[in-house]
Amino acid sequence: MEQSFIMIKPDGVQRGLVGEIISRFEKKGFSLRGLKLMSVDRAFAENHYSDLAGKPFFNGLIEYIISGPVVAMIWEGKNVVATGRKIIGATKPVDSDVGTIRGDFAIDVGRNIIHGSDSVESARKEIALWFPEGPVYWQSSLHSWIYE
Ligand code: IDP
Ligand code: MG
């Protein structure tokens, strides 16, 4: 089954949105396979965002991600990568639809609350980086009520 790496950024933690965000993924029917509150250092954040090195906002982005604890998660389910991006909403909150996490709770792109993997391949890399211990495996007893 497909997995995605989802991270609540420091602003989401500070603003008390952890429960709300987890709830949206849970209610959709996805399964939680990893969850931890952690602070990351500059080298770790730069590694996570290495594909954006050289962007004018890169340094500000790194400062933002290391400014406080984040909630790192693995969510699993059919099409969770693409659907997770829909639940999160467009990168710039001005373009994010109402009903998405960014559309409902964010205003500025540099304070957009949450990260989600943009492809199955990035999810694999990000999960390996953030969860070297690997996902937690369990079988939800709701499986047959969510999948036909
Ligand atoms: P994504 O988070 O929707 O995948 P990316 O393009 O991968 O968007 O950018 C990573 C993060 O970098 C964004 O979520 C946002 O926090 C930040 N970012 C992207 N573009 C800008 C910008 O133009 N100004 C400031 N921050 C930006
Ligand atoms: Mg991205």
Span 46-77, pLDDT tens digits:
999 999 999 999 999 999 999 999 999 999 99
| CB-based contacts of 67, cutoff 8 Å, min separation 6 | 10
| CB-based contacts of 35, cutoff 8 Å, min separation 6 | 22, 71, 72, 73, 74
Three-state DSSP state, 6 = strand
CA 19 to ligand 1 centroid distance, Å = 23
Q: What is the pLDDT of residues 19-41, one digit of tens each?
A: 999 999 999 999 999 999 999 99
The pLDDT value recorded for residue 51 is 97
CA 147 to ligand 1 centroid distance, Å = 33
Domain extents for the chain?
Answer: 3-146
Which residue from 109, 111, 119, 125 has its CB within 8 A of the most atoms of ligand 1, so it is best to mutate?
109
- Reported ipTM: the value is 0.98
Q: CB 63: neighbour CB atoms within 10 A?
A: 12
On whether the CB atoms of residues 1 and 72 are closer than 8 A, the answer is: no
Which of 106, 114, 115, 117 is labelled catalytic?
A: 115
The pLDDT value recorded for residue 99 is 98
Would you state the CATH architecture of domain 3-146? 2-Layer Sandwich (3.30)
The pLDDT value recorded for residue 45 is 98
Element of type H or E holding 84 = helix 80-88
Closest CA to 2 of 123, 96, 89: 123
